[in-house]
Chain A
C-alpha cells in the first residue's frame, strides 16, 4: 500500500521541533510554516497542574528567546498527541496565555505570540530582592530552616496563583483571605 510520504514510520503523532505535526505535511525543516519553535514537556511528579506547566514553559521560552513575536505555539492536537494529555488542558493553558496578553489565537490557523514578557525594571528587581532578603531574615529568626522556607514559599506561591486564576474564572473579586500560620 502506498502511503503519503509525509507520514513517518513508527512515530505516534510526535511533532519534533521544527517539523510538521502528525498530519500530512512537508518534510522536516528548520522553520516550516506549520511548525512551532518549541516543544512541550510534562513533569508528572512535580505537583504543578499540567496547564500551568505549559503556561510556564511558554513564558520561560519567551524569556530565553526560543519564542519571538509572531511565532506559533504548537497546535493543540500535536501537543495532545505527544504528551497524551487532555485537549481541554491545552486549551486552558492557551486561554490563560491569551488572558495574560501574551498570545492571540487566529481562527483556523493557530495561536501566535503577540507580546513579549514584560521585563521588570532593574530598580524594581533590586527592591524586590531586598524585601525578600528581609523576609528570609525574619523566617530564619522564627526558626525555619532552608527546607521549611522553601516549603512555605512554594505553598504560598501555589495558592497565590490558584486563587488568582480561580477568581478569574469565577469572575469574582480576588478575596484577601487570611491563611492560618503554621
Chain B
C-alpha cells in the first residue's frame, strides 16, 4: 500500500537558460489528497507536466505510481490529468467527448459519466464550448474520473471558477478520493496558488518556491510540529530553543513561528498557539531559505527534519 504516486529525485527542468524546477526531491504517498502550492512561476505546472509525461526532465528523474516512467502506457493508463483551463474540444458535444475519451482509453465507465453529467445538469448534446466555465471543468473532471484512474492530477483546477462552481468541483474530487465504502479511492495531486480552504481539502502539502521544494509532508505532521509563539519583541532575537522559521514583530510584541511541538516547553513570558495551514504556508513563502522536508523513509509517518537555513 505504501506506494508513492509521484517520486522525484533531483528533478530539474530548464527552458532555455531558466530553470523552472531545480533539485526537486519528493515522494507523494498514495491515498492522499496532496496540494502543490506556490506562487505563480514557482514551477507547479512544470512539475505536474513532468509527472504526467508532457515534458522531459533536464536533470534528475521522476517516476509515478510506484516506479513507472511517466508517459509509459501503464502510467498513462493509471493517471488522469486535467490541465489548467480544463481543455476540452470546444466544437465537440459532451456526448462526443465521452465517446472520444472512451475510444482513447482502456477503461471507461460510460454509465458513471452519463449519470454524473445528468446529475450536474450538463446536456449531452451541447457543444463543450458553449458550456459555462464551471460546467466545462466538471465535464473535464467527469471524463478523467470515468477512466477510473489510480491518480488524479489537477493543475490549478478552480482558478477560473466562481465560488459555487469551485465548491462543487472540489466536492467531486474529494468524493472520488473517498471512494466507496471501506475501500479508498483515487489519489489526488492538485496544484493551487490559492491558500484559503487548503486545510480543509489537503492532507499532504508540497510547497514550491522559486523552482525548489520548500516544504513537503503530511499536513497533520506539519501542523503538529509548528507552533506560533507570542511574546516580548525585545526577547525575540534571543530565542534559540527551537528553530525559528519566521518572525513578525511590532513595537512591543513579536510572533515567532517555530519548529516545536505541543510538548516542547514554552519560555516564561511567552504564549504558544497552534498554527493554521495558511499561516504556516505564508510564513514559509516569506522565508525562501527555510525548508521543512520529511526525513528518511519519506512518504510514511515521520517527524519532519530540522529546518535548513
Q: Do A and B bind each other?
A: yes
Chain A positions near chain B (C-beta within 8 angstroms): 1, 3-4, 7-13, 22, 42, 44, 47, 50, 76-77, 80-90, 107-108, 155, 158-159, 162-163, 166, 175, 177-180, 182
Contact, CB under 8 Å: A155 / B118? no
Contact, CB under 8 Å: A76 / B178? yes
**Given contacts A107-B182, A108-B181, are A84 and B114 in contact (CB under 8 A)?**
no
Contact, CB under 8 Å: B115 / A4? yes
Task: Report how far A15 CA is from B285 CA in the complex, Å.
Answer: 38
From A13, A82, A87, A108, residue with most partner B Cβ within 10 Å: A87
Contact of B175 among A47, A80, A108, A159 (CB under 8 A): A80
Contact, CB under 8 Å: B175 / A81? yes
**Given contacts A7-B115, A88-B203, A89-B200, are A1 and B171 in contact (CB under 8 A)?**
no
Complex interface: chain A residues within 8 A of B263 (CB)? 166, 175, 177
From B119, B168, B180, B224, residue with most partner A Cβ within 10 Å: B119
Residue of A nearest to B119 (CB): A7
Please report which residues of chain B, range 247-283, place their CB below 8 angstroms from some CB of chain A when the two chains form the complex. 261-263, 265-274, 276
Contact of B202 among A7, A86, A108, A159 (CB under 8 A): A86
- Minimum CB–CB distance from A179 to chain B (whole Å) comes to 6
Q: How many residues of B contact A (CB 8 A)?
A: 45
Instruction: Other than A1-B118, A80-B171, give 16 A-B pairs with Cβ distance below 8 A.
Output: A7-B119, A50-B200, A76-B178, A80-B177, A85-B201, A86-B174, A89-B200, A90-B178, A155-B273, A166-B224, A166-B263, A177-B262, A177-B265, A177-B266, A179-B266, A180-B231
Complex interface: chain B residues within 8 A of A7 (CB)? 115, 118-119
Name the prevailing secondary structure of the A interface residues.
Answer: loop
- Minimum CB–CB distance from A181 to chain B (whole Å) comes to 8
- Minimum CB–CB distance from B133 to chain A (whole Å) comes to 16
Contact of A86 among B121, B203, B267 (CB under 8 A): B203
Contact, CB under 8 Å: A162 / B262? yes
Complex interface: chain A residues within 8 A of B119 (CB)? 3, 7-13, 22
From B174, B180, B185, B201, residue with most partner A Cβ within 10 Å: B174
Contact, CB under 8 Å: A180 / B178? no
Contact of A3 among B118, B170, B261, B268 (CB under 8 A): B118
Chain B positions near chain A (C-beta within 8 angstroms): 32-33, 114-115, 118-121, 124, 167-168, 170-172, 174-175, 177-182, 185, 197, 199-203, 224, 231, 261-263, 265-274, 276
A–B complex contacts, Cβ < 8 Å, 6 sampled: A50-B199, A77-B175, A80-B174, A86-B200, A180-B268, A180-B270
Complex interface: chain B residues within 8 A of A180 (CB)? 231, 266-271
Task: Report how far A22 CA is from B114 CA in the complex, Å.
Answer: 14
Complex interface: chain B residues within 8 A of A88 (CB)? 32-33, 203
Task: Report how far A80 CA is from B167 CA in the complex, Å.
Answer: 11
Contact, CB under 8 Å: A178 / B265? yes
Task: Report how far A23 CA is from B262 CA in the complex, Å.
Answer: 42
Task: Report how far A107 CA is from B181 CA in the complex, Å.
Answer: 9
- Minimum CB–CB distance from A161 to chain B (whole Å) comes to 11
Contact, CB under 8 Å: B174 / A81? yes
Complex interface: chain A residues within 8 A of B121 (CB)? 9-10
**Which 6 pairs from chain A and chain B are nearest by CB?**
A87-B178, A81-B175, A3-B118, A84-B171, A12-B168, A84-B170
Task: Report how far A166 CA is from B260 CA in the complex, Å.
Answer: 13
- Minimum CB–CB distance from A86 to chain B (whole Å) comes to 5
Contact of A12 among B114, B120, B199, B201 (CB under 8 A): B120
Complex interface: chain A residues within 8 A of B262 (CB)? 159, 162-163, 166, 177
